[in-house]
Chains A and B, each alone.
Chain A
Amino acid sequence: MIKIENISKYFNETKVLEDISTHFERGKTNLIIGQSGSGKTVLLKCILGLFDASKGEIFFENQSLNKMNSKQRSILRQEIGMVFQGSALFDSMTVEENIMFPMKMLTKKSADEIKMRSNEVIKRVNLINSNKKFPSEISGGMKKRVAIARAIVMNPKYLFCDEPNSGLDPKTAILIDNLIQEITKEYKITTLINTHDMNSVMEIGEKIIFLENGKKGWEGTNKEVFKTENKGVENFVYSSELFKKVRKVYLKP
């Protein structure tokens, strides 16, 4: 479980996050939603420790990130897998090398063990026949799979995904969402997902926090999204006619 308390973040004078508190549970897909520029990525990077929060505290299983020394932090880092918005695969390495990279860098595993584990995750994310290809030679959906494989190869306790299905066609987007949810359940990971995709909200929003101009505007589940009267959420989630209709149908007794 990850708990955040009163997180604020300023860049020089500009306030990007203001006083956000919430918690994210283990074995669940926790969604951070909001418009572009609402601070989702910055919040994720604060929790990761890539940015230092200007105010507030972050707890990983009741251990405060602020109070960790650099050694404890680097141990924590090894328990976190991250899927970046643009996948962030290493251009100079093949798909397989990308996936093996964290093990090569951070463990004392033998070449055989590394190979075996990477084959395991490659199978898990359904990547076929692309081990020797370079990132520039595969599709966006496949890149996401590689990024997910690389993120879970070390058996992380926490998985962070920044807009994992942005830029993908609707079908691939759903496949990727489902894959992340399955993995979350299978390995009991605490998963945080940034998204502005309404399909994801409906499908995998086991817990949702809604950011509005850097503040927490609402918090709940995908069931509650249908019932909420929160103006911000209504404006954001039901901005399309289609979802307004879906909501009507859902709310009919």
Chain B
Amino acid sequence: MKILYHIGGYFYHIGGYFIMLRKVFGKFTKWNVLKNLILREIDVLIIGSLGIVSFISFFVGGVVSIQTALNLENPLLPKNLIGFTTRQSVILEFAPTFISVIMAGKVGSFITSSLGTMKVTEQIDALEVMGINTFNYLIFPKIIALLFYPFVITVSMFLGIIGGYVASIYGGFCTSTDFIEGIQIDFTPFHVSYAFIKTFLFAFILASVPSYHGYFLKGGALEVGKASTTSFVWTSVVIIITNYIVTQLLLT
């Protein structure tokens, strides 16, 4: 019976999530107010994430190339495989998926805790009393700001490959020519499209799932902390499942 209760709970939240989305696109906030809200969210959510994303991408790109080099024990395998593998892993999975899971921790928890705090301090009620569509006012700007998320992922792809390059040359695993040749082999433009289709979906998930957890929070300050954690877990889970489905649909 407990299981049934849990399953019922999931359906309740999934339904609630879609009702929330419909309200986000309901009555719109005045444009000159909305514009500023969007700019602020871009600053906080997008620009504010570039530092950590760049740092992680550069070093993980480096590690990918080192790991590949160390696994290429067979001397018959061409050295340009290092560049090739780094490019493939970074563009297909590392940048779009891995970085998105990290962003679920950074941006997601931030969205949940800031909306959650507004909820428990009755700021959301205060907006509601004024007759404002709080869903549009609070959540829509976050969704729009995250339309710039592919920019973050582009930076990540670029720096991941640069990181791989630097690590291979610095570690003496291959020559600059090998690596550059490697990143050009078998280039399939569709792989890039696939990566960006995923990125757009993840961007939407990153804005909306944490918003749901923050907006519908019940309780006090303690619950804000708990909700940020739950929000991170669920956002990652939804990203991973979406990744699986999209990969199955587009690449096989």
Contact = CB atoms under 8 A, between A and B. Distances in A.
A183 to B, nearest CB: 18
A86 B123 CA distance: 9
A251 interface: no
Interface stretch (A24-32, A100-108, A187-195): A100-108
Contact of A77 (B117, B122, B131): B131
A88 B132 contact: no
Contacts of B30: 104-105
B54 interface: no
A60 interface: no
Interface in A213-244: none
B129 A82 contact: yes
A50 B128 contact: yes
A90 interface: yes
Given A88-B121, A106-B131, A82 B33 contact: no
Interface string B105-128: 000000000000110011101101
Listed residue (B29, B117, B128) with the most chain A CB atoms within 10 angstroms of its CB = B128
A78 B129 CA distance: 8
B126 A74 contact: no
Interface in A78-99: 78, 80, 82, 84-86, 88-91
Contacts of B241: none
A105 B130 contact: yes
A84 B127 CA distance: 11
Contacts of B128: 50
B29 A86 contact: no
Listed residue (A45, A88, A106) with the most chain B CB atoms within 10 angstroms of its CB = A88
B123 A88 contact: yes
A196 B130 CA distance: 26
Nearest to B128: A50
Contacts of B131: 73-74, 77-78, 106
A122 interface: no
Contacts of A74: 131
Interface string A104-115: 111000000000
A48 interface: yes
B29 A88 contact: no
A209 B167 CA distance: 75
A90 B126 CA distance: 9
Interface in A4-60: 45, 48, 50
B129 A104 contact: no
A104 B122 CA distance: 20
A84 B33 contact: no
A105 B131 CA distance: 10
A88 B128 CA distance: 12
A92 to B, nearest CB: 8
B93 to A, nearest CB: 36
Contacts of A84: 122, 125-126
Interface in A137-168: none
Contact of A106 (B122, B123, B130): B130
A88 to B, nearest CB: 4
Contacts of A90: 123, 126
Given A105-B29, A105-B30, A88 B130 contact: no
A85 B122 CA distance: 8
A73 B129 CA distance: 10
Contacts of B132: 105-106
B125 A88 contact: yes
A146 B121 CA distance: 15
Interface string B23-62: 0000001100100000000000000000000000000000
Interface of B: 29-30, 33, 117-118, 121-123, 125-126, 128-132
18 contacts: A48-B129, A50-B129, A77-B131, A78-B130, A78-B131, A80-B129, A82-B125, A84-B122, A88-B121, A88-B122, A88-B125, A91-B117, A91-B123, A101-B130, A105-B29, A105-B30, A106-B130, A106-B131
Given A48-B129, A82-B125, A84-B122, 11 more contacts: A84-B125, A84-B126, A86-B121, A86-B122, A90-B123, A90-B126, A91-B117, A91-B118, A91-B123, A102-B130, A104-B30
